C-alpha cells in the first residue's frame, strides 16, 4: 500500500558565514524542494529523487560540490560522493574522482552496475569514462570556496527523502576542503560517516569530515534510534554532539520512516531546505 507521507530535505553545507547573503542559495534550494516534491508525488522513488536533487546541486556552482568545488593542494579538483538505498542498503560511492561533472551520477553507476560500494582515484575515473558520464575539464569549475574561508570545506551538499512506498534514501556530494592534501578523502563518500539509509532513517552529513568519520556519525544516528530507542531529534543531536566532543563541527539532515525531519547544526549556519509531510516548505541558512 502506498504511503502518502512524503518528506524531503536538502543541505548545501554547514560553512555558511554569519552576515553573508545566501539569497541565491535559498531560492535555489526551495526550487529543488518543489521539484522533488512533484517527483515524489508523481511516484518517483526516493533513490531517484535524491540522485537527481544532488546532481542539480552539483551543477549549480553555488556550493562546494560539483562545479563549485575548490582545487586541492596541487590545483586539481577531486570530488567525492555517495548514496544509499534504505530498503536494500545498497550503496555506491566514488572518492578522489577527477574530470567529471557529477560525482553522484558516478556513485549511482557504481551502485547499479558493479558489485562494489566504492571506486577511487584513477579507477573511478576510468569507470566513469566507460559509463559515458559527462566529463568536466578544469576550466569548467567555478570555485565558491573563497567566500567561506572561515568555515573551510563545508559546502558539501546532500539530500534525504521518503517516498510514497515508505522507502528512504540519502545522497551526499562534496568538493572537499579547499587546498586539501592531494588524495585526501573526508566523510562524504564513506557509508556510515557521511551518508546512511535503512528502514528507519536516511542521513546526509556536512562539516569537518574527519570528525564525522571518527564518530561514524550517520550510522551512529540510526543505531541510537534502533538500540537506544531515541527519537530522531534526540539521536541527531547526540550524534552531532559526539562530533563536537571530538573537536569537530558541522551539521546533518535526516528524515525518518514516519516523515519526521531533523536538521541540526553546530556552526555559524547551514544552508538547508525541507518539505514536511503537511506540505510546508522551508529554506533557511541561519
Active site positions, annotated = 156
Give the closest residue to 206 by CA, choosing from 165, 169, 238, 175. Answer: 175
Q: Are 253 and 275 in contact (CB under 8 A)?
A: no
How many contiguous H segments (helices) and E segments (strands) does the chain have? 7, 13
Closest by CA position to 253, among listed 276, 278, 236: 236
Q: Residue 147 phi/psi, 5° resolution?
A: -75, -15
Nearest to residue 210, comparing CAs of 191, 193, 235?
Answer: 193
What gap in Å lies between CA 242 and CA 215, rounded to an integer?
6
User: Would you call 244 helix, strand, or coil by DSSP?
Assistant: helix
Residue 206's φ and ψ, nearest 5 degrees, are: -150, 140
Amino acid at each position: 500500500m502506498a504511503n502518502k507521507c512524503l518528506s524531503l530535505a536538502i543541505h548545501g553545507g554547514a560553512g555558511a558565514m554569519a552576515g553573508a547573503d545566501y539569497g541565491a542559495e535559498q531560492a535555489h534550494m526551495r526550487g529543488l524542494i518543489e521539484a522533488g516534491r512533484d517527483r515524489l508525488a508523481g511516484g518517483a522513488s526516493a533513490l531517484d529523487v535524491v540522485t537527481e536533487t544532488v546532481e542539480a546541486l552539483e551543477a549549480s556552482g553555488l556550493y562546494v560540490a560539483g562545479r563549485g568545488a575548490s582545487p586541492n593542494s596541487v590545483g586539481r579538483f577531486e570530488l567525492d560522493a555517495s548514496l544509499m538505498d534504505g530498503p536494500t542498503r545498497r550503496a555506491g560511492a566514488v572518492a578522489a574522482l577527477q574530470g567529471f561533472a557529477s560525482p553522484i551520477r558516478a556513485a549511482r553507476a557504481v551502485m547499479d552496475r558493479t558489485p562494489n560500494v566504492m571506486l577511487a582515484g584513477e579507477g573511478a575515473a576510468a569507470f566513469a569514462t566507460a559509463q559515458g558520464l559527462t566529463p568536466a575539464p578544469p576550466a569548467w569549475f567555478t570555485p565558491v570556496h573563497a567566500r567561506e574561508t572561515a568555515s573551510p570545506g563545508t559546502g558539501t551538499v546532500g539530500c534525504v527523502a521518503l517516498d510514497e512506498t515508505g522507502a528512504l534514501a540519502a545522497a551526499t556530494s562534496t568538493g572537499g576542503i579547499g587546498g586539501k592534501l592531494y588524495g585526501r578523502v573526508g566523510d562524504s563518500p564513506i557509508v556510515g560517516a557521511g551518508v546512511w539509509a535503512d528502514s528507519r532513517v536516511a542521513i546526509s552529513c556536512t562539516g569537518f569530515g574527519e570528525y564525522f568519520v571518527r564518530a561514524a556519525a550517520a550510522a551512529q544516528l540510526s543505531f541510537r534510534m534502533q538500540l537506544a530507542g531515541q527519537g530522531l531529534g534526540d539521536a541527531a543531536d547526540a550524534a552531532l554532539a559526539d562530533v563536537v566532543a571530538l573537536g569537530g563541527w558541522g551539521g546533518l539532515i535526516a528524515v525518518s520512516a514516519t516523515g519526521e525531519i531533523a536538521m541540526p547544526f553546530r556552526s555559524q549556519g547551514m544552508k538547508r531546505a525541507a518539505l514536511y509531510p503537511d506540505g510546508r516548505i522551508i529554506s533557511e541558512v541561519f
